[in-house]
């Protein structure tokens, strides 16, 4: 069990650029969640998948954000036309459907300059 | 939006002392979880308490839940410098988690 991994760990980009993050969940976990965390705050839910189906999207997820989990394994989160307000830690978590505990990756820290 | 609030926002104690942090939430729950986050890292699940439980222990951790007051507390006994982290309560589970703002705990050696 290698845990949840995320790539990259850090990303610095200029405003207006597109960025894509990847999350690899624990292999047998069928649920995958994306959260965003800003300094001094708790994580806030963005979206989640059960297998390849995207089940819910938060109102925080503007139309510049898109997430996929094409084969029910890894997931990508893309942010188009980044803004300074997108600067945050993006956290991925996975769980085994039906169980409440979620297992988090180390996060991707995005800085938009 | 945040489900609730942890209290205090920050706590500084000496190694060996006990640390207590509280969490309040807004809606009915099936369970409540506590997570730890070391600086700039991902979150680690610590303990889960179900709505029909009032108290639960795991090692040096003790969690209580009062559903009538919509509140929970996390007690860390005999704290260590390695316990320095932010602690979050979260509701949900089997659905997206809703976190509070967290308590930043500093344990001074």
Residue B77 tokens read as 């006994």
Q: How far is CA B107 from the centre of its chain?
A: 16
Residues A10-54: tens digit of each pLDDT = 999 999 999 999 999 999 999 999 999 999 999 999 999 999 999
B56 touches chain A (CB under 8 A): no
Q: How far apart are CA B93 and CA B45, in angstroms?
A: 12
* B99/A43 Cβ within 8 A: yes
User: Is A91 close to B42, i.e. CB distance below 8 A?
Assistant: yes
In tens, the pLDDT along A56-73 reads 999 888 999 999 999 889
Neighbours of A36 (CB within 10 A): 21
Distance from CA of A90 to the nearest CA of B (A): 10
Q: Do B42 and A40 touch (CB under 8 A)?
A: no
Which residue bears the tokens 């509280």? B22
Question: Inter-chain contact A100–B94, Cβ cutoff 8 Å?
Answer: yes
**B93–A contact, CB cutoff 8 A:** yes
Cβ separation of A103 and B2 shorter than 8 Å?
no
Convert the pLDDT of each residue in A67-96 to its tens digit: 999 988 999 999 999 999 999 999 999 999
pLDDT at A3 over 50: yes
CA quadruple B102, B47, B2, A46: dihedral, nearest 10: 110
Is B50 within 8 Å of chain A by CB?
no
Question: CA-CA distance, B23 to B43, in Å (whole number)?
Answer: 17
Separation of alpha carbons B88 and B43, rounded Å: 9
Give the tens place of pLDDT for each residue, B40-83: 788 999 999 999 999 999 999 999 999 999 999 999 999 999 99
């Amino acid at each position: 069990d290698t845990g949840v991994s995320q790539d990259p760990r850090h990303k610095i980009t200029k405003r207006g650029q597109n960025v894509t993050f990847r999350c690899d969940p624990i292999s047998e976990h069928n649920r995958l969640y994306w959260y965003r965390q800003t300094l001094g705050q708790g994580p806030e839910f963005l979206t989640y998948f059960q297998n390849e189906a995207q089940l819910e999207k938060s109102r925080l997820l503007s139309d510049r954000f898109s997430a996929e989990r094409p084969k029910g394994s890894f997931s990508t989160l893309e942010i188009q036309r980044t803004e300074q307000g997108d600067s945050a830690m993006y956290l991925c978590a996975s769980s085994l459907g039906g169980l409440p505990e979620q297992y988090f990756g180390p996060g991707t820290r995005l800085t938009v300059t | 939006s945040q489900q609730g609030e942890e209290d205090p926002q920050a706590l500084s104690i000496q190694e060996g002392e006990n640390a207590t942090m509280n969490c309040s939430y807004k809606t009915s729950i099936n369970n409540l979880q506590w997570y730890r986050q070391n600086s700039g890292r991902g979150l680690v699940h610590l303990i889960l308490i179900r709505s029909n439980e009032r108290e639960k222990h795991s090692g040096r951790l003790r969690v209580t839940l009062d559903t009538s007051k919509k509140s929970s507390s996390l007690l860390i006994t005999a704290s260590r410098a390695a316990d320095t982290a932010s602690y979050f309560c979260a509701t949900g589970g089997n659905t997206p988690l809703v976190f509070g703002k967290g308590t930043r705990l500093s344990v001074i050696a």
